[in-house]
Amino acid sequence: MASFPVINMEKLNGEERAITMEKIDDACKNWGFFELVNHGISHDMLDKVERLTKEHYKQCREQKFKEIVGLMGLEAAQSEVKDVDWETTFFLRHLPESNISEVPDLEEEYRKTMKEFAGELEKLAEQLLDLLCENLGLEKGYLKKVFYGSKGPNFGTKVSSYPPCPHPELIKGLRAHTDAGGLILLFQDDKVSGLQLLKDGKWVDVPPMQHSIVINLGDQLEVITNGKYKSVVHQVVAQTDGNRMSIASFYNPGSDAVIFPAPALVEKDQGETHVYPKFIFEDYMKLYVGLKFQAKEPRFEAMKNMKSSTAPNPIATA
């Protein structure tokens, strides 16, 4: 099996641009995941985000997590636990409106740093969307325009910790799923592993790498690209040692954005069966909430006959 794709963004500005673009295209077609280095976000900022996130967990979330685990009796589990994830999370919304000032238990320095970090990730997400457009032969800005809706994209961050687990063979850190949204940008722990993707029927580790940003594609990009790029099933395996940090930011369509295969790509595929529906993103999210840990294909099928809502509400993350 080929090694996990790592993309050096600096090479987009030099003689190796064409080769780098080919690597991105191959990663989108054959992996649904890739890892970015030299992506433009400073190492100092990433180090600060990691330090503050881990401090926040120790101060505000560790004891609460232990209490919940105790109440649920998970430490004494003797058989597979199928409906619980061994993780503790909180969510930050950035677009269309930020809620960072309202999230409890965050120190002011942490709020400010996460706001700055989100700004850098937003720029990176939009750069990547244009690179995907270039590889797909779509006009520049097409994906961003589709994502925009009436109020702009939804952009939010899920901050997760995966503490040491006594029974990783019985409890998943996060059960297998595909992401519902658009483009996911992950800043993960560089020392504690656990993230895996399903490729060719086998689980493959997403390697921890210092200062990298892991990218994966959500269901909406599969629909828009008419299946040329696909969302990929992934999971987090709990570990017996170490507390894994995961900061996943979701650059998603606006709630009322209309999602459908790009006509230019459908035209290129004449003669093939087109299985992807046209729908409003919020309607997909309503369906996804109850079916997250099930196969995506029935979700796509269900959207073909679902009546779209007319008054969507913003959704922060998927």
Question: Which pLDDT tens digit goes with each residue over 40-55?
Answer: 999 999 999 999 999 9
Q: In what order do the strands lie in the sheet with 213-217?
A: 6-8, 33-37, 213-217, 183-188, 244-252, 154-162, 88-95
So what's the pLDDT on residue 270?
Answer: 63
Alpha-helical regions (H) of 31-78 = 43-56, 62-72
In a domain, 314, yes or no: no
In a domain, 172, yes or no: yes
Q: What is the mean pLDDT of residues 275-284?
A: 93
Confidence class for position 78, pLDDT limits 50, 70, 90: confident
Report DSSP state, residue 281: H
Distances (CA, A) of 238 to 75, 163, 203, 208, 291: 13, 8, 14, 15, 22
In a domain, 287, yes or no: yes
So what's the pLDDT on residue 273?
Answer: 57
In a domain, 83, yes or no: yes
So what's the pLDDT on residue 77?
Answer: 86
How many domains, in total, are found in the chain? 1
- Quote the longest CA-to-CA distance of the chain: 58
In a domain, 55, yes or no: yes
Tokens of 171: 């409890």
Q: What is the mean pLDDT of residues 221-240?
A: 97
Q: What is the CATH number of the domain that holds 154?
A: 2.60.120.330
In a domain, 78, yes or no: yes
Question: Using CA atoms, how far apart are residues 249 and 296, in angstroms rounded to an integer?
Answer: 21
Taking each helix axis from N to C end, the angle separating 17-30 and 108-136, rounded to the nearest 10 degrees, works out to: 100
Q: In 3D, which of 220, 248, 236, 232 has the Cα closest to residue 178?
A: 232
247: phi then psi, degrees, rounded to nearest 5: -120, 100
Question: Using CA atoms, how far apart are residues 142 and 72, in angstroms rounded to an integer?
Answer: 47
In a domain, 316, yes or no: no
Summarised one tens digit per residue, pLDDT across range 140-198 is: 999 999 999 999 999 999 999 999 999 999 999 999 999 999 999 999 999 999 999 99
Domain encompassing residue 256: 6-309
* Kind plus residue range of the DSSP H or E element containing 204: strand 202-205
229 neighbors 32 (Cβ within 8 angstroms): yes
Distances (CA, A) of 202 to 172, 214, 294: 16, 19, 18
- The residues near 237 (Cβ < 8 Å, ≥ 6 apart) are 168, 172, 173, 194, 196
In a domain, 32, yes or no: yes
Confidence class for position 311, pLDDT limits 50, 70, 90: very low
